[in-house]
Each structure stands twice: as C-alpha cells, then as structure tokens.
C-alpha cells in the first residue's frame, strides 16, 4: 500500500515557517498546513506553555484595508493548536472544540505578533489564551482556544 505522506516531505515548509528543528522529525510528515503558509505565519518560539508567531497584515486584509478579523482567529487557532499538540505529544492529537476572540483595535500595516500562553494543560483538555499585538506592542485582539486531546489510532 502506498502511503500518502513521506517523512521529510514538508521539511522546507517547516524551515520557512520557523519551526524549531527539534520538532521536524515529528511534524515533517504533515507540515504546518496550507493555511499557515498562505497567511505567512512564522513561528518565533514553540512550546506547550508558550508559543509565539508573527503574521503580516499585507495579504490578510478585509475590504477596508485593515487586518481581517478572521485572520486574527486563524493566527490564534494556529498558535493554540500547535501549543496543545506539543503538550499532547506525538502519540496523541488535538482537536479544537472552542475558539473565541475579542477585537480591540485595528491595524493596517506591518507585522502582528501572537503570543499564546497556557491556561490549562490537562490529560484530556488544553486551553490557551492568545494575545495579538502590533509592532508597537498595542493589543489588537485576545482569543481563547480549548482543544480536546485524543489518542492516535493505530493503522
């Protein structure tokens, strides 16, 4: 039987997204995901307790020329899901069960930084808060995501 994923297939994608080399062996079978690539998200720091990434405003705006509210949520869900996955480990996977965001101010240019901090890291649930800021450090939005942790099924 032919396997859909070849180990190492997404290594260059992981490097481009700033994923630390220590996670390449585990993540190189799936990469960071097409939406992460399209949005231009770059990881700065990765861990279960804290994950940080940037995303450009350019290319992710809505009709008024400001960062799309959905782009805030994409960044938040990306950070929270990766952090929860790191907590779960390679023998388990996470599935988002709740995400919500409050938008505080708009931004029309530059880079947005998302900082994801663990609120709860349990055996079956992981909850993170994600704060998006502009280049001046002003808070743009606050999000929260909860992921359920499941065991991988053997094939």
Residues noted as catalytic: 77
CB under 8 Å to 120, separation ≥6 — which residues? 126, 127
Phi and psi (nearest 5°) for 57? -70, -45
Distances (CA, A) of 70 to 62, 73, 76, 108, 149: 9, 5, 10, 14, 24
Interatomic CA distance for residues 20 and 84, integer angstroms: 16
């Amino acid at each position: 039987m032919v396997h859909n994923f070849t180990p190492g297939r997404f290594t260059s994608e992981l490097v481009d997204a700033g994923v630390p080399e220590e996670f390449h062996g585990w993540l190189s079978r799936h990469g960071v995901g097409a939406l992460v690539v399209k949005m231009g998200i770059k990881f700065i720091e990765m861990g279960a307790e804290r994950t940080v990434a940037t995303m450009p405003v350019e290319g992710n705006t809505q009709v008024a020329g400001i960062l799309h509210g959905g782009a805030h949520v994409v960044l938040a869900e990306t950070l929270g899901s990766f952090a929860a996955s790191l907590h779960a480990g390679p023998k388990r996977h996470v599935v988002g069960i709740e995400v919500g965001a409050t938008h505080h101010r708009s931004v029309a240019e530059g880079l947005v930084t998302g900082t994801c901090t663990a609120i709860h890291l349990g055996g079956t649930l992981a909850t993170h808060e994600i704060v998006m800021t502009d280049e001046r450090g002003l808070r743009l939005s606050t999000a929260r995501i909860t992921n359920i942790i499941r065991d991988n099924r053997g094939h």
